Every structure is written in C-alpha cells, then in structure tokens.
Amino acid sequence: METREMEISDSSNGTTGSITDRIRAGIRVFRDDEEIRKGEAIGGELERAIKSCTICVPIFSKNYASSAWCLRELASMVDCSRNRDGEGTILPVFFDVGPRDVKLETGLYHEALQKHEQKFGCEVVRRWKEALREAARIKGWNLKDGGQGELIRLIVAEVLIKLNKREKILPDHLVGIQDRVEDVVRLLDEGSPDVFYLVMHGMGGIGKTTLAKVVFNQISSRFHGCSFLSDVREALKGGKVIQLQKQLLAETLNFKPIEISDSDAGISQIKRRFRDKKVLIILDDLDKWDQLSKLAKNRDWFGRGSRIIITTRDTNFLPLEEEYRENNAQMQFQEFKIYQMEELHHAHARQLFNKHAFRMDSPPNEYDDVSRDIIYKTGGLPLALEVIGSSLYCKGKQFWKDTLKKLDLVPKQDVCDKLKISFEMLDDAQREIFLDIACHFIGEERVYPYYIWKALDFFPRSDISVLAHMSLIKVDDDDRLLMHDLLRDLGREIIRREDLKVPGKRSRLWCPKIALDVLHTRKGTENVIALKLTGLCKEHDFTSEEFSKLPNLRFLELEGGNLAGDFENLLSSLRWFSWHRCPSDLQAINLCLSNLVILKLLDSDIPENWNGWGPCLANPDLKVIQVIRCHLSAAPDFSTCMNLKILVFDQHCPKSPQMGSSISKLERLKRLEILAAQVQSSKLSTSPHFDPW
C-alpha cells in the first residue's frame, strides 16, 4: 500500500480552498474529493486512503456537519488513530468555528445532525458525534488566532515535524530499557524553555547508544528539527568534521546538504540557522572538547527548549565539577546534566542472555547452572551478554563449559578479552573478514567487500551470516556493514598486538599517519595487506620503491598525490583500489593491477584519454567500477573487463559521460547507475539488496 503523507477533510465548498492550496506548497496532500470516487462506500477506497495516511487534517467550518461524507470520514480518522496507537495523527483546523462548536456544546451543528438521524439512523449519527467530540479535544489551530498566512505556516511547520520523524533502528531484544528511558526523559525536562546538554556516561558496550536511539525515537517529533550523529569520535578521527556539520544541518533543517568550505564556516551556519529553532541533537560517542566545539559548543547556538544529548565513555573533557567525578552520581552542573549508565540488574541480564543464547526467556533445565555462571562472569554489560550469548546458540553443553573456563581466566572488568572469546570461535576466513570490517569496511555496502573476499576464496555469504548471528557485526536496512565500536576496537587491538613496536609488521594499517610513516621509511613487510592514506594534512607522491616492500597489499586507499616510478610486478595482489582526487596524468609506468576487483575514483578531474584506465582495467575479472563526483567527459573502454557486475557514474559535472559501444557488451552487469549533476539516475537495479553472486 502506498503511504500517503496527509489527508484533508474539508466541507467548506471552496471557502477554505486557499488554505488547502497553500498547504500543498509544502506537503504532499490528498484531499477527499480528488482521489476517491464520489459516492463510494466509506469501507472502500476512502478508508484505505485514511489508513495509509500519516497525518489527517479535518478543517472544521460552519458547514462541516452538513456533509455526511465528511462525518463518515472523520469517524474513520478517529477509529484509525485509536487502532494505530497514535501512529496516525489528527491535526484539526477550526476555520470559522471554535472547539466548543465541534464538541456540540453549542447548537451550531444541531439541525444538520438531526437531519442525518432521520436519514442514517441514531446509531450512525451517535458514532459521528463521538468522533466530533474526540477530534475537538485535540489541540489544533484556530483561524481566529491569526491570519491565514500565519496559520498555514504553523500547520506546515507542525506537519513537517511529524513527517520528518527519523526513527533509529533498534535491536530486536530490548531488555531493562524502559526505566532508563523514563529517567532520561525526566532529566530532559521537556517543559523547560532552557537549553542544556544531557550526558549519558558509561563504559563501552553498556547500552548508551541504544538508550539514546530509544529516547530519540520517543521525543524527536516534539522538536522543530532533529539529528542523530553516530560515532562522532571515529568520524572526526578520519577528518570528517565538515561531513558531520553538513549532516547536522541537512537532517535538522530537512534541506539538501549545504555547501561548507571549512569547519569554521560550518560553525557559522549552525549558529545562524539554529538560534531560533527548538532542536534535538544526539552526538554519539564523544571524548574530546574539540569534537563538541565543532558541532554544538554553546547553548546560545540553539533556540529555546533545545536539547543536546551526548554519549561518552569519559567525561574528563567536559567542564564538570570535581564532586561529580568523585561521587559518580546523577547531578547537574550549569548547562550539563549527567546520566550515569549502570550495568543491567541480574534479572534483566539473565533475560537478555537467554534471548540470544536460547532464543527464549529462560534456559532449558540442563543449562540452568552453566548459563547462570556465564552470566555472572560476563557481568551486566549488554554487549558482552549479546555477543557471548549469540556465540553459544545451538552449541553443546561441553562447549558451554569450555567457554566458562575461558571466562574464568579473564578479569571481570576486561570487556575486550571477554569479547575476544567469541572472536576465537571463528575459523580463519571468518576472522579475516571480521578484521577487514573492523579496520576498513564499517559503513560500506556489503556487496563491495563481498567481491574481494570471494576473490580470496572465502565464503562471504555464509561467513557474514555467521558473524551476524554471533552479534559480531550487523547489516542495516541499507545493506551496510556495521559494528559496535567496542568490537571495532577489539579488532584493531588484535591487529596492534601482531607487533606492538613495529607497525610495518602488522597486517592492516588504518591510521593514515602510521601508514604514511611505514611507507616513507620503507619499513613495510610482506605482512601488510591493507593501507589507508586519506585525510592527511598534505598530499604525497608515492614511489615504486616504497611499495616494493609490500608484495601482499590487497587494499589501498589514496587521497591526492601521484604514483611515480616503475611499478612492474608491484601491486599485483591489490584487490581494492580507492583514490580520492586522483591525478589527471598518472606518473607510474608498467603499472598493471592484474588482480583488481574493486575500483573507486572520487572527486577527480579525469581527462578523456586518462592514462590510468589501462592499468586499472587490466583484470578481466574486475567486478566494480565506481566513479563519484568526478569531471569525466567520456567513459573508458570496458572491453577488457567483461565480467563487470557493478558500474556507477554518480554526480558528474556538468553532464553525464559519453558511453561507448563497449557498455552494451557487459552482459553480466547487475547494477548500472548514471547520474549527472542535474540529470535523473538510470539504473538496471535500484535495490541495494540485489544478489551479487
């Protein structure tokens, strides 16, 4: 069923037409006399339309009760709103009447309703009267309170808030969350016009982000705008401050992303655009003042009643008094309120563990003792309960006992080592995939790394399923790979421990500064399989001599610079090559990426006969070409890569590139996207969940 945004019920015979027409300018409107055949029973198309609407707006006028159609419609609106637990919202408009008239406390509608009783019977009209009274009790708009222009502005603003509800996806099993939500909502003190920050403080894996999502879903519709910025700490480490500022502005204002030249310009935009708006902003996972200062530094940036919620493991960067740090209690200091997250109570911990380990609320009798001991050793940490419980699902009792012995060797407070027990249950290929995701593929659409793992003779479809069932990763509704930050940190710590002193002996180098140092000092080894060299303070050229130390490199991400020198027999193991701002003239000679599977070029000026296409398209089994935000006049010749599965030319300026005849020969292509700056996209497959194998 199509989801409609807004249904208007209006019997004014054109009197309120200007209201309806002007509301259309801001909202997708379905009016009862447009799309429903006149005279059709209320149980037909009209009822289906009302059920599919997010918002219904009855416009009460002096003639409203004269229309049996409108009264039937109103009764259906009220019934649907009751049955959908508030999901269908009624927003009444009192045009030339008042709420008392609609509540039938005056005689305005008396004569009309009497006539309806004679025609339709007392029982039908009784239902209509109840609907009138119930709708009139809902706070709406009275035209007498202001002119039509102001009224319509308020209606559009309110409806956009309701329609702009961006619900966050929550875990399947929420246990012990309601008391926490009530505590946080109480601290938020929504009735206060003050602007303040609420800080959710607690150790990693304790459920701060989940709690923030539940609160966001519950209260976001009460604000003029809202935004949830996930994993701020990691994003800003990667130099994505401007990207976060754009996201904050776009989500809160419900506009397309605003162009921002630098972080100072972003701060100016935030201050200017939010100072008169009541906003809700969630900043997930902060640990430095600089992160907060780029996004929501001061209360006076925001309108009255705004709330900024911060989740953090460490409050030392906040200007709090020492008593809080010593007492570790829920207290308030100036504009900051602190909510201290505690571990789950035993009963809730047991329930959560059982849901993941047994898919029910209580264990079988023969597992009662061992499950109780494992829960005690795991503690009340939701992430550990979920991961360890999921890892034990469908395992034999001896496996459970062995896991308990391993937990006995881990200090109770060492969460990562507890989680590592689940990692050690994986086979070699599954471990490699887990570590690849932890270091490089969080937020990436699953299909792209899938092709790399497939080329390495892994079994990514089943391996990803295993990781997801063990709660070590998640795949969201957009088919993107996600991982809890504590599990990400576990994966990266495993890599760091491969060699604590010499980074060049580690397998994956995700920190650009460390990767750059390893490359420039030629301290790389055959162990290195992945390098990320983006977000550096200046561009660097890289030589063949530097890469000669990395014979097994299979993942490379560059930003700017060039490749220079003789690359014969170098980078032959490379499967993934991503280059932001690649050079228009590649300096490397004899470069041949003969095993490349994924090619991504971004934000680049690529000439018509670019000399990089030959080296990059040398592998007949190349699976993906993704060219994004590039100046590109003509596509390359695809005749050397006839097994291509995904081809994307996205956001090109000033027009879409010319396609040669070779594109018609790509018979195995499953996704084609071509989108110029001002041109609609063309796709063979529009679903992110298409089957790539």
Q: What is the pLDDT of residues 431-449, one digit of tens each?
A: 999 999 999 999 999 999 9
Question: Chain-centre distance of CA 129, in angstroms?
Answer: 44
Q: Which of 7, 73, 134, 158 is catalytic?
A: 73
Check residue 593 and give its pLDDT. Answer: 95
Assess whether pLDDT exceeds 80 at residue 82: no
Assess whether pLDDT exceeds 50 at residue 35: no
Check residue 586 and give its pLDDT. Answer: 94
Over range 445-474, report the average pLDDT: 93
- The pair of three-digit structure tokens given for residue 473, joined into one six-digit string: 């990763």
Average pLDDT over the chain, rounded to an integer: 83
Over range 235-248, report the average pLDDT: 87
Look-up of token digits 């780029």: 294
Check residue 173 and give its pLDDT. Answer: 77
89 or 30, higher pLDDT: 89
536 or 693, higher pLDDT: 536
Q: Which of 135-139, 299-303, 462-466 has the lowest mean pLDDT?
A: 135-139
Check residue 685 and give its pLDDT. Answer: 43
Check residue 417 and give its pLDDT. Answer: 82
Neighbours of 508 (CB within 10 A): 24
The answer to whether residue 73 is catalytic is yes
Assess whether pLDDT exceeds 60 at residue 566: yes
Q: Which of 77-81, 548-552, 627-631 has the lowest mean pLDDT?
A: 77-81
Over range 560-574, report the average pLDDT: 94
Q: What is the pLDDT of residues 269-298, one digit of tens each?
A: 999 999 989 999 999 999 889 999 999 999
Helix, strand, coil shares of the chain, percent, nearest 5, are 40, 15, 40
Q: What is the pLDDT of residues 644-660, one digit of tens each?
A: 999 988 866 555 667 77
Assess whether pLDDT exceeds 70 at residue 10: no
Sort strands 481-482 and 474-475 into parallel, antiparallel or unpaired: antiparallel
Residues 6+ away with beta carbon under 8 Å from 87: 54
Assess whether pLDDT exceeds 80 at residue 98: yes
Check residue 565 and give its pLDDT. Answer: 94
% the chain with pLDDT above 90: 46
How does DSSP assign 631-693, residue by residue? Answer: EESB----TT-TT--EEEEEEESSSPPB--GGGGG-TT--EEEEEETTS--EES---TT----
102 or 329, higher pLDDT: 102
Written in H, E and C, the secondary structure of 164-180 is CCCCCCCCCCCCCCHHH
Over range 418-439, report the average pLDDT: 93
Sort strands 671-676 and 682-683 into parallel, antiparallel or unpaired: antiparallel
Check residue 44 and give its pLDDT. Answer: 59
The closest alpha carbon to 373, from 363, 383, 360, 361, belongs to: 363
Global pTM exceeds 0.75: no
Assess whether pLDDT exceeds 80 at residue 15: no
% the chain with pLDDT above 70: 82
Assess whether pLDDT exceeds 60 at residue 643: yes
Q: What is the pLDDT of residues 165-201, one digit of tens each?
A: 567 878 777 888 888 999 999 999 888 899 989 999 9
Q: How confident is the model at residue 588 (pLDDT cuts 50, 70, 90)?
A: very high
Q: How confident is the model at residue 146 (pLDDT cuts 50, 70, 90)?
A: low
How does DSSP assign 596-637, residue by residue? Answer: --EEEEES-EE-TT-TTHHHHT--TT--EEEEES-EESB---
Residues 6+ away with beta carbon under 8 Å from 457: none
